[in-house]
Structure 1
Amino acid sequence: MSSNTLQSFLTENLQDLKDRGLYNEIDPLESANGPVIRIQGKELINLSSNNYLGLATDERLKAVAKEAIDRYGVGAGAVRTINGTLDIHVKLEETIAKFKGTEAAISYQSGFNCNMAAISAVMDKNDAILSDELNHASIIDGCRLSKAKIIRFNHSDMDDLRKKAKEAKESGNYKKLMVITDGVFSMDGDIAKLPEIVEIANEFDLMVYVDDAHGSGVLGKGAGTVKHFGLQNEVDFQIGTLSKAIGVVGGYVAGKRELIDWLKVRSRPFLFSTAVTPADAAAATKAIELLMESTELNDRLWENGNYLKKGLQQLGYDIGQSETPITPCIIGDEKLTQTFSKRLYEEGVYAKSIVFPTVPRGTGRVRNMPTASHTKEMLDQALSIYEKVGKELGVIS
């Protein structure tokens, strides 16, 4: 017999989320996650994928993944520290380090795991972390796990960061101080002010930690936000994912060799989770090699991103402060946002609604993610649908 307390909790709280427009429906795809997807037999222009460069369906990646399965099998068979480290894991990490311009790198099973691993392996209850208020949930959870004092600073507010860094340093209460920021903020598409952050870090002896999940493959001709600003030698931790622009799955931390050596012996997700599959390691390595060889996909991504952004602005949509291909259409009210997304779906565009707690209350939005794989015809069709639905619901005039 199941617990009545649990049943009561679930029924009450699920209904509350539905009543407030905060319940998320999951739509299984019946196709690959490309520029056009199929859901329940319906073809839709896909503007919700993180597959920025179209590499998730790239034939070159598929080929090396199949070869890796034939040679190594479907799983690594053990955690990295026992005998789950295959030579292709080593090659992946060497390739990541070269890509990011660091001495070494370590790979994990996901980007989320990276933040759970790296923060708590270095920071503890005697330390403090200055964290941008809009940092990703995995950063927040990694900070909590470390038991360090978390000091939030206003989003990209350098005066607030300097003030709080000065207070933390002069208090004498903390052994180590770290500043953490996303490189590209995933809900608004704006870029961290890394040069100013590094300057403040140097002034107050802060470690600098950048989660570049949405910057790798996008900024710096693909190499990321840190490379975009030329700060490879100034940033201690470069965190990234292999599941967005890279098109596969997994994550990594890149930095000094001693840092990577420490994470290999002290970061719990590395020590207690089986390594990524051989196919994933091979495909991710191939993707990064392609990005180092050519900027073609990156160039196409930006061309498409700028085209869609300009079109949405001309229609009168509020796209916030986006500086990257990530382009939100900020609607505001949660229920209207859900309705807006549903009408786009009915007309042939898949642009998922994003509401609290992913974004602050009252800032509901649909987030558009154009990719290198979209054609101008697809984007024009999407803009036409945005015009129709926006006017119908009174979002634009």
Structure 2
Amino acid sequence: MPYPLTIVLSEGQSNHPEKRALESAVAEALSAEHGAEVLLTPNLYDLKPDGPTISTLKQTPRDLLVLSWLYPRAAHWTLDRVGVRGRVGESLLVAPDDEDEDDEDWDDAEKSRVADERELPNRRIYCIDWRIVQNANEVVDELRRIQEELAAENSASITTAETAWISGQASSESLARFQRPVNDTHLDGNGRLAVSSPAPRTTVGPSSEHAPLPFDLSGGHLRRVDEQPGRRWYPVIDFSRCTNCMECIDFCLFGVYGVDGQETILVEQPDNCRKGCPACSRVCPENAIIFPQHKTPAIAGAEVAVGGLKIDLSKLFGAPESNEDAMAVAARERDEQLLLAGRDAVGMPVRTPTRTPEAATIQPKDDLDALVDALDDLDL
């Protein structure tokens, strides 16, 4: 039997007939596959954390295959910020330019990433960009490949204890439950139904008073979520890149960012963000801030291995053809939004962020620096 998988088909914001036709064709093809539970949802980026779609996805423990009109990195971290979390699954259905991309240049062993300290559920989330899908058949083929991959991993993960149980070697815990059952339907020594008090019930997660699910996930058919969210604009943090440097919270003056109980950066008030403003993404030294709906690929979440770049980062992040660097563009964009909000512009910050390490060499050397240089030149 194919490995069970929950598939999320996120619709685009527009009603373009070709996009809708592609979504419908893929949905119909996937819903006919064994082991596939297909959910047709609104645009992921627009969903509210307390809406029916996110509430449903939070309660499914299965591995996820997500198709959206976002870059895969943007889709993964958009889900992560609302509590739908898991490990990144590697899909082979990628854009041709990404097939040979080596992300090892991005990793820096000397830097601690926020993701290194986070605990994730034991499941995979595979994200695919609708824009690279040509037809439904290639999505079906990728689904089957992922199911085979997960089935092989699940088979190999059987622990020694489980193997012993299958072979008939009971553990001490199993023997204890057999000798002193905790259910109220076991038989006593005379073969009669024993009378015992039921075991106490343990509530895991939210109480049973939460709103019912809009649909049942156990049917294995195509289902549509009844939700109509409005369009939104807010930053998404890629915690696999974020070092918790706090440059974004220092730069943003609209109260978008905050910190949690562990002093880790988070997007606290997403709807405070000014529509169309990506300034904080430009000042992030690790390119960890994503605006999934931005027209510039690097800001929208395209994979960018900075260590291998040989181009001007300010141009990559959408700066105009001028002598302005990314920091100057970000400051100008922030001032524009401040003025639109009826507030005073603040200009360039006094403290230069870490994206421009050459700033440390701007100040001219003094006499002490000259003395240190002279001592270094001595052949002692």
Q: Give the TM-score range, shorter chain.
A: under 0.3
User: Between Structure 1 and Structure 2, which shows a larger proportion of strand residues?
Assistant: 1
> How high is the TM-score relative to the length of structure 1?
0.23
> How high is the TM-score relative to the length of structure 2?
0.24
User: Between Structure 1 and Structure 2, which shows a larger proportion of helix residues?
Assistant: 1
Structure ranking higher on relative contact order (CA contacts 8 Å, 6+ apart): 1
Answer with 1 or 2: which has the greater Rg: 2
